[in-house]
């Protein structure tokens, strides 16, 4: 059967960590009005055969119907190679709707970010999530709380 793994978002030098909810979830803040990024990494296990779905899990305090402007990057490298991989893919920047209420959980399908990658057991998969909060198409008007990435694989 399929297996699920949740990878928690890691902040970089443009973003920060905080917590939300009770009990608290640790999240990366992708701020409004600027470009912020977070990432996840995963060592692909020996029982891997294929990706079923990959979802970016996030929330915000915005009211329903506002859009966040995201771009997604992915790269893969075998364990013996440098993590500066040449096996890369992206999903071009576009808007994603938050159709929930205050801090409602949003699961955005980003499976297409790995369509062009060669993935196998022992490879390192890195996924970058970039929010361009200052883009005119980003109408969220608040921070995004990046929880992480959920991968379902066979």
> What integer best gives the mean pLDDT of the chain?
88
> What is the pTM assigned to this prediction?
0.89
Please give the pLDDT value at position 78.
Answer: 67
Q: Print burial letters for 100-128: b (CB count within 10 Å at least 16), e (below 16).
A: eeeeeebebebeebbeebebeeebbbbbb
3-8 and 144-153 beta bridge pairing:
antiparallel
């Amino acid at each position: 059967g399929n297996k699920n793994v949740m990878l928690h978002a890691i902040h970089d030098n443009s973003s920060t960590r905080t917590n939300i909810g009770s009990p608290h979830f640790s999240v990366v803040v992708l701020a409004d009005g600027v470009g912020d990024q977070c990432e996840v990494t995963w060592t692909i296990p020996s029982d891997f055969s294929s990706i079923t779905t990959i979802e970016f899990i996030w929330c915000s305090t915005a009211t329903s119907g506002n859009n966040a402007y995201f771009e997604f990057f992915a790269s893969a490298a075998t364990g013996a190679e440098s993590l500066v991989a040449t096996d890369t893919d992206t999903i071009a920047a576009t808007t994603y709707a938050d159709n929930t209420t205050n801090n409602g959980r949003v699961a955005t399908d980003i499976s297409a970010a790995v369509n062009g990658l060669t993935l196998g057991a022992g490879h390192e998969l890195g996924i970058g999530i970039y929010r361009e909060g200052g883009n005119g198409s980003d109408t969220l008007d608040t921070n995004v709380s990046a929880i992480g990435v959920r991968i379902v694989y066979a």
